[in-house]
Amino acid sequence: MSESEPESGQERQCVSCGINIRGMSAATFACPDCGTEISRCARCRKQSNLYECPDCGFRGP
Residues that bind Zn ion (CB under 5 A): 14, 16-17, 31, 33-34, 36, 41, 44, 53, 55-56, 58
Task: Tell me the backbone φ, ψ of residue 31, rounded to 5 degrees.
Answer: -60, 130
* Residue nearer to Zn ion on the CB measure, 6 or 23: 23
Q: How far apart are CA 33 and CA 50, in angstroms?
A: 15
To the nearest whole angstrom, how small is the minimum distance from the Cβ of residue 6 to Zn ion?
25
* Residue nearer to Zn ion on the CB measure, 4 or 25: 25
Whether the CB-CB separation of 13 and 20 falls below 8 Å is answered with yes
To the nearest whole angstrom, how small is the minimum distance from the Cβ of residue 19 to Zn ion?
6
- Tell me the three state secondary structure of residue 28: strand
